[in-house]
Amino acid sequence: MTSKFTFFFLLFFNIAFSQNSLPLIPQPKTMQIKDGNFSLKKETLIVADEDSFEAQYLQKAIQQQTGLQLKIVTASKADSKIILKQMHPIDPYWSKERYNISISPKELIITASFNQGAFAAIQTLLQLIPLDKKETFVLPCLNIHDEPKYTWRGMHLDCARHFFSVDFVKKYIDYLAMYKFNTFHWHLTDDQGWRIEIKQYPKLTEVGAWRNGSMIGHYNEQRYDDKRYGGFYTQDQIKEVVAYAQQRHITVVPEIEMPGHAVAALAAYPQYSCTGGPFEVGKQWGVLDDVFCPKEETFTFLENILTEVIALFPSQYIHIGGDECPKIRWKNCPHCQNLMKTERLNDEHELQSYFIQRIEKFVNAKGRKIIGWDEILEGGLAPNAAVMSWRGTEGGIAAAKQKHYVVMSPGSHCYFDHYQGDPKNEPLAFGGYTPVEKVYSFNPTPKELSTEEAKYILGAQANVWTEYIETPKHVEYMIFPRMMALSEVLWGTSNPEKYADFQNRMIQHFSILDKKAINYSRAIFEVTAEVMPKPGGKGVLYLLKTNQSPIGINYTTDGAQPTNQSKVYSQPLEIAKSQTIKAIYFEKGTAKSNITEQQFHIHKATSCLVSLQNQPNGNYTKGGGFTLVDGIKGDKAKFGQHWLGFSGTDLIATIDLGNKQKINRMEIGLLSSPSSWIYFPKKITFWVSEDLMKFEEVKTFSLEEIQKCNGQITVDCDKKNIQFVKVTVENFGTIPDGQPGAGNKAWLFADEITVE
């Protein structure tokens, strides 16, 4: 019996994978395409309970997509029907979102035990029907058996830094539904705005929802406007959004930030701070020092707020924030220090843990659970809390090992406020570089976990922080197409080795987005480039490619805009002198990509051997030591690529120039971006040597000097017979209080050591 079953199962699987040519996202677990077709036409009937939301939703969606107005009937003998079939009795072995679709020439049958499954099936079906106004649509006969792998398939939206209308929030929920997400994490409060009406505390929105200015440009520029900005959701609007999401089987998880990211609330009610204020609603992004003070009155205040929040949101989890809470006010607050003594708390981290545990008790007593950012692990996790792991996956791993539920959302793969293409062609973003392929490669269940521990991984979500995202169109741009990739990861059918297959389906979805007037990034069409050392030195090799096809790239070397008449790229370019390469990908004579533009500075150290005493970290290791001599200077304005990053450690690089020569000048580029935890070094020293045995110090620069020249350090010299150049760059150390990431290791970012 077992072996027969296995045989059929394998057979089914093989067919499923070999015939999987339909552009479905997420790809179903199993699909078998058969001979024959089903015709969808105006005579087609939807057979379902007439008051079924799912049936009405399908009817409306088909009408919007095709213009066909199908009737809903409870039973029919007609020739062409879509049957929504609920299994009776409900099969307890079917998960809530499991469904089958079976298409034969006369019937399209959707089977599910629960409405969630029927709804997921409808999303699949809608992807099978083109967006076109026609009389008849031909669908292939097939069988789909499908269900998701993860139960938390989330998208987050920060409505605090920028406010988004109810209409757009509903649209956002529609986007989640299209790609089978089931959780909407609604970030409703932060330093820069309180966005949810709380009846007992009207000043939260009268005062806390409005700020008298915002940052302009990137945080690093420290520029502000003085425009009043704000908005909030009334409780009726919240109910409307929750109901809208509920119909679409999407759980809305509200986030009410505490104890940090609380300045908007404190501007309205300064009595719940340590100092008493006054405060103004934050204009600056990042992390602000003033936080809730763990006084009895504060707990009462927060509990009253949570009571109203819990009444509005039926979700099992309430997100209480917990991230980035500076401890400086607590350190200087007699009440806090006293409380730490009476509660026998060893440090302020334990005070934070005490804070969260009290809130947890309250939320648990109301029959709900808390979830918080991974900082809630510090000082001890509250007994029933779930953890949202954002500073990498380590927090999530630690929590799962302690048998706590986890939602993965690491900055490396799930931060959709990061760049997804060449920053030169992208709107201003927070930083980072998370292209769609990277998202697609994500595995929410880390290998470090045993099978037992892995059960605590509920799933994952992408976060859309909106410091730099002001408009709905821009939100769309940041989530599409990356959320398609995440959708398949969470559904459990992604296969990073078959990224090309995914990309092919994704590009077909671009035309759906076009027809629905949804904005999206075309970064995948970009000409991407790789730079490699040129054997023998004196220049570099520059490789251009597209995700599409190896042919079709035209380029120029003289700064001119490439046309389809420009030089045709066929092999890596030898870059032997300083110049600018511009490239565009053309398809049938039409430009499909933005310009990829690269300036090269070729100098004495280009492509020379570099040895590094410490290795770079995280996402900023690409190219290793070669990155420092690849002829490309890291871009100071947008720093997704071309920088080597060292988390907490020093950069000590020795360059072998290959032979003895005269040196007139050395230069290095360093980056400062405190909002991204990147700091100028404490000091930097340039050295030279004839033979590697003895190094002569040329010059040392202090932090002040580095700041003065904004990290671009040049030293003129007149040294003969030099074969080795060494640069020692001392990491800033620990991020100071009051800055984003306080207490964590600072990053040191360096690029291009030029020797002339």
The set of catalytic residues is: 190, 261, 324
Residue 359 contacts residue 370 (beta carbons within 8 Å): yes
Q: Return the residues of window 321-380 that contact ligand TNX according to CB under 6 A.
A: 323-324, 373
Q: Give the shortest CB-187-to-ligand TNX separation in angstroms.
A: 8
Bridge partners for 371 per DSSP: 319, 386
Q: How far is the CB of 414 from ligand TNX (least distance, A)?
A: 10
Q: Which of 210, 187, 213, 353 is nearest to 285 (CA)?
A: 213
Cβ at position 690, least distance to ligand TNX in Å: 47
Q: Is 419 one of the binding residues for ligand TNX (CB under 6 A)? A: no
3-state secondary structure of 236: helix
SS3 at position 527: coil
Residue closer to ligand TNX by CB (options 57, 163) is 163
Closest to ligand TNX by CB, 330 or 390: 390
Which long-range contacts does 582-585 make (Cβ < 8 Å, 24+ apart)? 582/555, 582/556, 583/527, 583/529, 583/544, 583/553, 583/554, 583/555, 583/556, 584/527, 584/553, 584/554, 584/555, 585/525, 585/526, 585/527, 585/546, 585/548, 585/552, 585/553
CB of 16 to ligand TNX, least distance (A): 38
In whole angstroms, the minimum distance from the beta carbon of 723 to ligand TNX comes to 44
Q: Is 390 in the site for ligand TNX (CB under 6 A)?
A: yes
Q: What value, to the nearest 5°, has the Cα angle with vertex 577 and ends 575 and 579? A: 80
Nearest approach in angstroms of CB 568 to ligand TNX is 40
- Maximum distance among all alpha carbons in the chain? 95
Binding residues with ligand TNX: total (CB under 6 A): 9
Instruction: Please count the other Cβ atoms lying within 10 Å of the Cβ belonging to residue 45.
Output: 18
CA distance 495 to 489: 8
Pairing assessment for the beta strands 369-373 and 386-389 based on DSSP bridges: parallel
Q: Does 164 sit near ligand TNX (CB under 6 A)?
A: no
CB 414 within 8 A of CB 389: no
Among 181, 272, 465, 620, binds ligand TNX (CB under 6 A): 465
Tell the residue number behind the tokens 């600018």, with chain if given: 580
In the bound state with ligand TNX, the residue whose beta carbon lies nearer, of 143 and 463, is 463
The Cβ of residue 615 has, within 10 Å, a number of other Cβ atoms equal to 11
Nearer to ligand TNX, 82 or 469 (CB): 469
Smallest distance, ligand TNX to C-beta of residue 587, A: 35
| The token pair that represents 460 in the structure block | 């994952």
Cis peptide before 26 (omega within 30 of 0): yes
Token pair in block for residue 145:
């058996």
Q: Which of 57, 137, 272, 430 is in the footprint of ligand TNX by CB under 6 A?
A: 430
Residue 146 vs 158, nearer CB to ligand TNX: 158
Contact 301, 274 (CB under 8 A): no
**Closer residue to ligand TNX, CB minimum distance, 373 or 686:** 373
- CB of residue 388 vs ligand TNX: minimum separation in angstroms? 8
Phi-psi bin for 552: left (phi > 0), alpha (psi -120 to 50), beta?
A: left
Using rule CB under 6 A, residue 269 touches ligand TNX: no
Q: Determine, following the binding rule CB under 6 A, whether residue 415 of this chain makes contact with ligand TNX.
A: yes
Nearer to ligand TNX, 48 or 486 (CB): 486
Of 419 and 430, the one with the shorter C-beta distance to ligand TNX is: 430
The Cα–Cα gap between 694 and 100 comes to 74
**Measured from the CB atom, is 483 or 575 closer to ligand TNX?**
483
Cα–Cα dist 436/433, whole Å: 10
Residue 588 neighbours by CB distance under 10 Å = 7
Alpha-carbon dihedral sign for residues 464, 466, 247, 67: negative
Rank residues 290 and 467 by Cβ distance to ligand TNX and give the closer one.
467
In angstroms, give the least distance from the CB of 431 to ligand TNX. 8
Give the CA-trace dihedral at 495, 150, 444, 386, to 10 degrees: 180
Helices (H), 313-371: 328-331, 334-342, 348-365
Q: Which residues contact 656 (CB under 8 A, 6 or more apart)?
A: 608, 609, 610, 611, 723, 724
Q: How far is the CB of 417 from ligand TNX (least distance, A)?
A: 5
d(CA 596, CA 245): 41
Q: Which is nearer to ligand TNX, 387 or 655 (CB)?
A: 387
Report the candidate in 668, 666, 688, 687 with the shortest Cα–Cα distance to residue 749: 668
Residue closer to ligand TNX, measured from CB, 415 or 646: 415
CB of 688 to ligand TNX, least distance (A): 41
Q: Name the phi and psi angles at 44, rounded to 5.
A: -60, 135
For 257, 259, 377, 539, the CA distances from 291, given in Å and listed in that order, are: 10, 6, 18, 53
C-beta of 320: minimal distance to ligand TNX in Å?
12
Among 621, 626, 625, which Cα is nearest to 539's?
Answer: 626
Contacts with ligand TNX, 305-324, as mask; x by CB under 6 A: ------------------xx
Question: Using CA atoms, how far apart are residues 281 and 268, in angstroms rounded to an integer?
Answer: 8
Q: Helix, strand or coil for residue 81?
A: strand
Interface ranges with ligand TNX (CB under 6 A): 323-324, 373, 390, 415, 417, 430, 465, 467
